[in-house]
Amino acid sequence: MQQHAAAEYPRECCGLVVAIGRRQVYVPCENTAADPAEEFRIAPEAYAAAEDQGQVIGVVHSHPDGTSQPSPRDVAACNSGDLPWHIISWPEGDLRTIVPEDAPLIGRHFVHGTDHDCYGLIRAWYRQERGIELPRFPHDWYWWEGGADLYVKHYRDAGFEQVLDGSLLAGDVILMQIQARQINHGAIYLGDGQILHHLYGRPSCRDVWGGYWQERTRMVVRYTAPN
């Protein structure tokens, strides 16, 4: 992205993030806007060519001689679709990601640190289904590999208490340990033996509660704070 932004400067660069299996690549596209110094446009045929390589999971463009702060047009355009937008300032080099507000809960593309990761999906479910705004907590990539135990550390701060009687109600958060030394994944229990969750490298989805997921469960927490 930085190389493309530098090559196109002072025009806005644009491109797409494409998932090819579990690998994500940046595909640069030509900016076909009438005024490429102020806006960008990706031609439909360029989008189709990117789709031939894999699944398009993000839109990228640069802000020449500006910050990565999204413009009102950026926000509106992002909200009109279902893909995250990645904005890079140049020559500053800062990268910012925005995601569609109130995107469908199923089929989200994974973007770490946003409402498009596992905790972000929990936040989005509570916002959309219960009208509750859960707090964000800052975290780094692969925080669990550095020994952090963020779900356990913060679940009470977010208004949850551990369920100790073995019950399971719709809206409970199931905390799991997946290929890590501590809890690093959360899912919403939907009832009727179904969970909603978002794994790295996969779209958010429903799954049957049991088997693999049940074996990796370490605790269940329930929202108890007043609305």
Active site residue 185: yes
Q: Which of 61, 109, 116, 185 is catalytic?
A: 185
Distance CA 185, CA 215 (A): 13
- Using only C-alpha atoms, the chain has a radius of gyration, in whole angstroms, of 19
Q: Which of 116, 197, 198, 205 is catalytic?
A: 197
Nearest C-alpha neighbor of 206 from the set 104, 94, 102: 104
Nearest C-alpha neighbor of 97 from the set 76, 83, 81, 80: 83
The structure tokens listed for 75 are 């926000």
The structure tokens listed for 172 are 């409970």
| 167 contact partners, CB below 8 Å, separation of at least 6 | none
| DSSP annotation of 144 | G
| DSSP annotation of 129 | I
Distances (CA, A) of 88 to 2, 17, 33, 145: 8, 13, 18, 28
Q: Which of 118, 139, 154, 205 is catalytic?
A: 118
The catalytic residues are 118, 185, 197
